[in-house]
Structure 1
Amino acid sequence: MKRILLWLAMLACLAGSAFSAHAAITINTSVQYKIKNAASGLVLGIDGASQAAGAKVVQWADNGTTDHLWHFMPMGNGEYNIENMLTHQVLGVSSASTADGAQIVQWADSGTRDHLWTVTQAASGNFLIQNVNSGKYLEVFQASNLNTATIDQWGLTGCACQEWQLVNTQVRPYPLPRAVSGNGRFVHDPYMLRDAGGTYWLYGSHQTLATSTDLNTFTPYTNCTTAQRGGYATCPSIGPDFPSWSGLQTPKGWNNGANTDIWAPSLMVVNGTYYQYYSIPYLPSTQAKALIGVATSSAPQGPWTDKGVVTRSWTSNDVPPAGFKKTTDNAIDPAPFRDASGNWWMTWGSWTDGLHLMQLNPATGLQSTTNTTVYTIARRGSPTSAVEGPFIYYYNGYYYFFAPINVCCNASSPYRTIVGRSTSVTGPYVDRGGVALTAGGGTILLSTHGNVIGPGGGSVFTDAGNNNRPTFVYHYYDGNNGGAATLGINPLGFTADGWPFVIAN
């Protein structure tokens, strides 16, 4: 019956000649679109404007609701994830089906191939939206002209019900990051704090340390002599060669003859003591050869005192060196924090078997000896669906989990940031659609838009200079500056039901 109705609709539309498809086109990522069916004149939306993962995608009259707005996120090779701007889930096929007639739904951005789409232009000037996994095309079920008609996939038929218009709203999907200046703004994996005197301290991978008094201009901070400047490893903020890891760090050939290369530092400040947690790759960073250490200081700039190694990882088949053993995790990207009761914790991890959490001993800053459980709090399905760089921030009764997904680190990066939450520090963490983060869940917080490419590697701090507002700091690759890794800053707002979103500065 479906076939009969579809062919009748084709004849009625006289659309068969419109399907001389052109090559895939490039979509503007800096705006939101309405996706309008050429036959019905109705637009794509979410059934009932539901936040639930798995909710049906339907067509509806264009009444201005946010669930009718979509954002194309580039994934490379002319492929896109298509993000709904109400739910911040992506367009996918139910159960990743490859069958004709399979229902189109929204789902967490879990990295599966049914979430990938290409867009080509037909001779009519309208567009065909093709699923990468199935090879089938987005269409209105039975060529219906009715509100609430469902959207499915089908092989190319020539029906105008498979043609779409992309209506440019001229509205950005996300606010731009704060305008920052100064040579200290170039950073990967930023962490920020504000000291008692009102100075903002910016830490990042590869020995980055910068300061600002106004959150606008960032100046590199260094105790290096003039002769030592010019190479981040010639005057390191940590080390060189702390006793706990001397000789096990990145080889000298990588760092202008020096050993140390600090990755993704994060800090806690407790009773006037600064605890800096940092990671160091061992030899080439493949196969999770790494360690996480902690150092303390009475000042944000150091000098730093070695307090030991928190954890090590070694997934390689190579024989582990002394002090290492075979693991399945990746000991990078540490983020310490305190829970609502004042207990100390650290989350960490990258790719491999997901992201983890351990309790810390406040007396040592190292792993607790009374609670040695390692909790897995997030993972995605495959290495090409990466998740890394976790950060947990407690606010208004929830532990909010932030992490970047996909692959960094260049001007074509599909990196983006997701969020989940839990009422318990150890989880389970779920996204707004109800999907567990251990099952690939995660609500999109921020993704590529225009020159803001691959926003990720982020953390959240409470800005005492701005009414204690939670503020998200991250790096992005600036498409207007050769893809330079650049500091992004956006305050966070919260929905009525307590989900964070980025707002303008």
Structure 2
Amino acid sequence: MARPRLAGRTAAALAAGLLLLAPVAPASSAPADNSAAANTSTATALGATTIATTSAATTNTPAPPIGGITVTGDTSPIHDPALIVDERTGTWYVYSTGLVNRENGGTIQVWSSHDDGVTWAYEGTVWDEIPAWIDEHFSDGDLPGNLWAPEVHEHDGTYYLYYSASRFGTNNSVTALATNTTLNPDDPDYEWVDQGAVISSPQEIENGKAFNAIDAGIVTGADGTPYMAIGSYWYGIFLVEISWPSGKPVDGALADAVHLVDRFQPGNPVEAPYVYERDGWYYLFVSFDRCCAGGDSTYKVAVGRSRDVTGPYLDKDGRDMFGGGGTILLDTHGAIVGPGGQSVYDDVLAFHYYDAANEDIPYFPTLGLQRLYWIDGWPVVDMTVDPATLTVAPADASARIGRKVSFTATAAGSPRPLVLWEVSDDDGATWRAPAKVRPTTSADGASTLTLRATPDTDGLLVRATATNAHGSETSDLVTLTVTRPGGGKR
């Protein structure tokens, strides 16, 4: 069976070749280069038998899977994904860092999925251009080329979108806010209203320590008090009290900020804090090490937990994250290079990674999703590396005019692969997804494409591709033959 490049791994609607950048390292200090070796053997406590995702066109929906979710559609370039689900419609949304050099305006991008995070579509940008007040804020030097690191939080029927702007390589940064009453871009009331600056740097915080005002993450304490976790490099991660409905810091919040994470090493490479409450514990997810370097990225996701939202956050070995602690949750493995920039929603970890399997644009920043498993109160991901293969390939088929005919393929791999179907009516010159047809997936993972035999489908070519994050395999071409009543060729 052939192994061609898989079409559709980049978003055709976006400018190909543009990379997303959200670097935050101080120009005077380089992050530690703790390269993450590909982990092809450690499958964590889940093992290689973890059940994962079904096809985007599944009809028999199983229980929510554990492990990596294989995604398809418009999944790149996505950087710093903020995942949120519209509980009214079930639509998944990801907000991500804007394109560099103000491509498409450089503002926050929006993506949606209507099948629980499997198939993604690009919805455009929050605004057509970066707000003028941000350019005024940075008017003494280089202007930001894009907006970074969104966070979306719902409170009392209002959606709060936090986003950052920064001068590359410095902590001259600002986190700002926009609000909306809906996430649906087709809703007539859809409009992100800019609410201006929330917090900026450089300025003193906690006894004169400098911080970087990007990567906001919102969490609510047990007593109902809302907080913003924020910070990147410099002195690390801080927790700042905010209030509703403004969504901005309370008076004196910076002076009373809690210092949650400091690695106490050159450059202090930690960023992207996200605090997630579950079963009476608060889990602090952060990204360690070097982002935004393509195949050389050493980004990885670490976690600690606390019974109190203000900490201290300890890792599995009891080490305080203020002082170097942090249990590594997700690291480079297989084609997933430098995962980080994470958010968590309903036990789903969203992150970006640099895609080593993308042959068109190597190491393009791509959306990653993992359904978390929990062992002894700690999150677990499955880092098994098993590229997708076809264990059963489709075969030639024939049917009389007006009858239905089916093609079946089965895939194996980890994360659980998708089977994507394509057809061609011009002898393979061009390929497309079957129109108005929904393949089905059975409990054993077999994907079946059912077509109707018509004069127009006689000679139709069909192929199936098994794909996951680590690779893909495409079947040989098979043919649909249409016959007339009585068994003769039409």
Instruction: Settle same-fold status: TM greater than 0.5.
Output: yes
Q: CA deviation at 1:249?
A: 4.7
Distance in 2 separating the partners of 1:81 and 1:427: 32
Aligned residues of 1:308 and 1:366 also touching (Cα < 8 A): no
Q: 1:261 aligns with which of 138, 143, 146?
A: 146
Equivalent residue for 2:122?
A: 220
Q: Paired residue for 2:74?
A: 183
Aligned partners of 1:436, 1:270: CA distance in 2, in Å? 31
Deviations along 1:376-398, whole A, 9 cap, x unmatched? 10111224451111000011001
Give, in whole Å, the separation in 2 of the partners of 1:274 and 1:431: 32
Q: CA deviation at 1:292?
A: 0.7
Q: Work out which of the residue numbers 426, 431, 444 in structure 1 matches 2:310.
A: 426
Letter of the 2:272 partner, please give it: G
Note if contact 2:236-2:268 (Cα within 8 Å) is conserved in structure 1: no
Q: Tell me the CA shift for residue 337 of structure 1.
A: 2.1
Higher relative contact order (CA 8 A, sep 6+): 2
Q: 1:383 to 1:351 in 2, by over 3 A?
A: farther
Q: TM-score scaled by structure 2?
A: 0.58
Paired residues for 1:98-109 under 5 Å = none
Q: CA deviation at 1:181?
A: 1.4
Deviation of 1:362 (Å):
0.8
- Corresponding position: 1:314 with 2:191: no
2:234 alignment counterpart:
352
Change (3 A) 1:86 1:291: same
Is the counterpart of residue 338 in structure 1 residue 231 in structure 2? no
1:306-326 deviation per Cα after TM superposition (whole angstroms, max 9, x unaligned): 22312111279xxxxxxxxx9
Q: CA offset at residue 414 of structure 1?
A: 1.2
Letter of the aligned partner of 1:353 in structure 2? Y
Once the two structures are TM-superposed, the CA of residue 340 in structure 1 deviates from its matched residue by 2.8
Letter paired with 1:294: L
Q: Distance in 1 between matches of 2:196 and 2:330?
A: 35
1:349-406 Cα distance to aligned partner (Å, 9 max, x none): 1110010110101131110126551111011122445111100001100110001101
* 1:44-443 equivalence runs, <5 A: 75-76=34-35, 177-195=68-86, 196-206=88-98, 207-214=108-115, 215-222=117-124, 237=127, 240-241=130-131, 243=133, 245-249=134-138, 261-281=146-166, 284-300=167-183, 301=185, 302-314=190-202, 328-369=210-251, 372=254, 373-409=256-292, 410-443=294-327
- Measure the CA separation in 2 of the matches of 1:250 and 1:170: 53
- Deviations along 1:102-148, whole A, 9 cap, x unmatched? xxxxxxxxxxxxxxxxxxxxxxxxxxxxxxxxxxxxxxxxxxxxxxx
Q: Give deviations 1:439-476, integer Å, cap 9, x for gaps.
A: 110001111111111111111001xxxxxxx1111011
* Aligned residue type for 1:310: V
Give the TM-score taking structure 1 as reference length: 0.56
Cα–Cα, structure 1 residues 327 and 431, in superposed 2: closer, same or farther, change >3 Å? Answer: closer
SS in 2 for 1:369: coil
Conserved? CA contact 1:420–1:442, under 8 Å: yes
Aligned residues: 313
Aligned to 2:57: none
Pick closer, same or farther for the CA change 1:339–1:456 going to 2, 3 Å.
same
Cα offset, 1:185, TM superposition:
4.0
Once the two structures are superposed, the pairs formed by residues 8-23 of structure 1 within 5 Å of their partners are none
Q: Deviations over 1:138-178 (max 9, x none)?
A: xxxxxxxxxxxxxxxxxxxxxxxxxxxxxxx9999x99732
1:197-251 Cα distance to aligned partner (Å, 9 max, x none): 11111101112211110111111102xxxxxxxxxxxx653863254x3522599
CA–CA distance in 1 between the matches of 2:214 and 2:369?
A: 23
Q: Could you tell me how far apart the structure 1 residues matched to 2:67 and 2:43 are?
A: 18
**1:472: which partner in 2?**
349
Q: 1:87, 1:442 → 2: CA distance?
A: 17
Provide the aligned C-alpha RMSD in A.
3.3
Distance 1:85 1:435, change over 3 A: farther
- Tell me whether 430-439 or 363-372 shows the greater mean CA deviation: 363-372
Q: Does structure 2 conserve the Cα–Cα contact (< 8 Å) formed by 1:239 and 1:260?
A: no
| 5+ long unaligned stretches in structure 2 | 1-32, 53-65, 99-107, 383-414, 417-490
Q: Residues 342 and 211 (structure 1 numbering): CA distance in 2 closer, same or farther, change over 3 Å?
A: same
What residue identity is the alignment partner of 2:373? G
Instruction: Indicate whether 1:495 and 2:375 are aligned.
Output: yes
| Secondary structure, counterpart of 1:420 in structure 2 | strand
Identity of aligned residues (%): 31
Task: In structure 1, give the amino acid aligned to 2:242.
Answer: L
416-425 vs 294-303, greater mean Cα deviation: 294-303
SS at match of 2:322: helix
**Structure 2 counterpart SS, 1:436:** coil
CA shift in 2, pair 1:437/1:87, >3 Å: farther
User: How far apart, in 2, do the equivalents of 1:218 and 1:170 lie?
Assistant: 26
- Local SS of the residue matching 1:439: coil
Q: Distance in 2 between matches of 1:314 and 1:261?
A: 19
Counterparts of 1:184 and 1:389 in 2: how far apart (Å)? 20
State the secondary structure of the residue aligned to 1:285: coil
Q: Do the aligned partners of residues 354 and 250 (structure 1) sit closer, same or farther apart at CA in structure 2, a change above 3 Å counting?
A: farther
Contact persistence 1:277–1:336 (CA under 8 A): no
Letter in 1 for 2:157: G
Q: What SS class does the counterpart of residue 119 from structure 2 fall into? A: coil
The whole-number CA distance in structure 2 between the counterparts of 1:501 and 1:415 is 18
Q: How far does residue 342 in structure 1 lie from its aligned partner after superposition?
A: 2.4
Indicate the structure with greater helix content.
1
Letter in 1 for 2:110: L
Aligned to 2:366: 486
Q: Indicate the SS of the match to 1:445.
A: strand
Whole-angstrom distance in 2 between the partners of 1:238 and 1:333: 22
Q: CA deviation at 1:501?
A: 0.7
What is the deviation of 1:84?
12
